[in-house]
Amino acid sequence: MVSWHGFINTCYICGYQAETMDHLFFTCAYSKEVVKIVGQWIGIMLPTQHFHEWSLRRGQSKIRIDVINVVFNACIYHVWRQRDLSKHELTLICPEKVAATIVDEMKIRIKRCSMKMANTDKIWIRGLIDDAN
């Protein structure tokens, strides 16, 4: 991203790389850590390269794809939010706390979901919202 001064803006989170969408959401060490932790909670590896990589998932039920997409979008939202906090308020919450916030928010959203689903999906959902996770 180039500022109006013509200088390349560095990532407000890590301060090392040029701030691009690919860097911010997929290659910044901060983002990678958030996505890794959240991915471990949901039991899958979240995307590491590009958005479209995620939308091409096959062999998953519709409910799982929907939940995974919501979780992935929450990661993007929270990383962007941390980027803005870092830029405007000069504060940055550690990736572990951001990931924990995402997991807590997703558990609340998943609990509110009242769709018909297969027993295997019900078991998967119960595993996600179980407080032991």
User: Domain limits of the chain?
Assistant: 21-129
Q: How many other C-beta atoms are found inside a 10 Å radius of the C-beta of residue 85?
A: 15
Q: Report d(CA 99, CA 39) in Å as an integer.
A: 9
Tens digit of each residue's pLDDT (9 = 90 or more) over 18-66: 888 888 888 899 999 998 899 889 887 766 555 555 555 556 788 888 8
pTM: 0.81
Which residue has better confidence, 65 or 93? 93
Q: Is the pLDDT of residue 82 over 80?
A: yes
The answer for residues whose C-beta is within 8 angstroms of residue 21's C-beta and 6 or more apart is: none
| The Cα angle at residue 61 between residues 55 and 62, in degrees rounded to 5 | 65
pLDDT (0 to 100) of residue 72: 86
